[in-house]
Amino acid sequence: MPRNLLVTGGAGFIGGNFVHHWCARYPDDRVVVLDALTYAGNRATLASLLDARRCEFVHGDITDRPLVSSVLERYRIDTVVHFAAESHVDRSIADPTAFVHTNVLGTQVLLEACRSAWYQNGVWQAGARFHHVSTDEVYGSLGPDDSPFTESSPYAPNSPYAASKAGSDHFVRAYVHTYGLTATISNASNNYGPYHFPEKLIPLMIVNALHGRRLPVYGDGQQIRDWLYVADHCRAIEHILNGPNVSDTFNVGGRAEHRNLDIVRQVCALLDERFRSTPTLAARFPDCPAAHGISCATLVAHVEDRRGHDRRYAIDPTHLSTQLGVEPQETLESGLARTVDWFLDHESWWRGVMDGSYRQWIADQYGGTA
């Protein structure tokens, strides 16, 4: 049966990729996007789908209970996929308030609206389900020889961002246990790919290199992350939604642990190669060292480390693999190549999202302008 999906944060990075993925796979489903269009949300991410009337867009905040309830009722929503969140650790360190407001309160408001809409006369609506998208950062940091995180790993969030996501996870579990809501959670490792707002490591390195600006690497750059191409995350969520209609938690990883500095060097090598093979790039990006036969890696600059910077994250996705048969399709090499090519091919998109406030924030954080 066709579904009526509400995708919160669907104009953001992972949410936007998911909306494209779902609309392509399930054209008979109704997809409604609810997004507050904060600095990281961009209608342009959904422009082709909106123009083709493949999805519908509602501008609003998930903390607005009357609005959320009206959307659930108006569109007869039976499936919620909850991406909406403040997600940048640096910003959470500077000011945690927005993270508590959106990630914790917003999730609780959304859960309560779903409970009111789907629980009538002591019976839950058949097939209704809530999926919450979370992060591996709720588990804290691993030592170099520690086993990867599993779904039973204890929560030990170390940043305000991670703490706010842990709080939202706990609220989802509380609604499952206390009220009987059917809900799933996916705790994913570091995503990267198309439509990625250029404040996170990979898109920031790409955009800065194209402008000939320094590539800031925190501390010694030896922090290890498990990298997950965003399309593989979207496929995992698809399988979760199509799996048994029971509450469960799934860790989603890319089986690709790499040091941050190595990631930056790989991005630089890809850009160097693209400029060598495509001479017209030099005219488009004359400030990039690669336009003059110089490696982008010369722009790497080690900067003061982030406060409380977790040293290593790693995800064990065995539960997802054994229960639902999901494995990542992209290697780090293929995923990075696709990402670099996407940013080179979609200059208008990333220039369009870099508004004045973002430019100033980049200047404050990293020096120079964006």
Per-residue pLDDT of the chain (370 residues; tens, 9 = 90+): 899 999 999 999 999 999 999 999 999 999 999 999 988 888 999 999 999 999 999 999 999 999 999 999 999 999 999 999 998 888 888 889 999 999 999 999 999 999 999 999 999 999 999 999 999 999 999 999 999 999 999 999 999 999 999 999 999 999 999 999 999 999 999 999 999 988 889 999 999 999 999 999 999 999 999 999 999 999 999 999 999 999 999 999 999 999 999 999 999 999 999 999 999 999 999 999 999 999 999 999 999 988 888 899 999 999 999 999 999 999 999 999 999 999 999 999 988 776 655 566 565 655 543 3
281 belongs to a structural domain: no
Q: Is 151 designated active site?
A: no
Domain assignment of residue 214, yes or no: no
Catalytic choice (35, 61, 78, 137) = 137
Q: How many structural domains does the chain have?
A: 1
Residue 172 lies in a domain: yes
C-alpha closest to that of 312 among 179, 189, 209: 189
> Which residue's structure tokens are 């065995």?
318
Instruction: Assess if residue 261 is contained within a domain.
Output: no
Q: What is the CATH number of the domain that holds 179?
A: 3.40.50.720
The pTM score is 0.94
Q: Is 136 a catalytic residue?
A: yes
The whole-number pLDDT of residue 289 equals: 98
Within a domain: 110 = yes
Q: Which among 161, 175, 192, 229 is annotated as catalytic? A: 161
Q: Judging by beta carbons within 10 Å of its beta carbon (0-12, 13-18, 19+), is residue 287 exposed, middle or buried? A: exposed
* Domain boundaries, position 108: 4-195+228-255+307-329
The one catalytic residue in 35, 78, 86, 136 is 136
Let me know: does 225 contact 253? Beta carbons within 8 Å. no
- For residue 211, tell me if it sits in a domain: no
Would residue 350 count as lying in a domain?
A: no
* Structural domain contains residue 82: yes
Q: Vertex 47, ends 44 and 50: CA angle to 5°?
A: 140
Active site residue 345: no
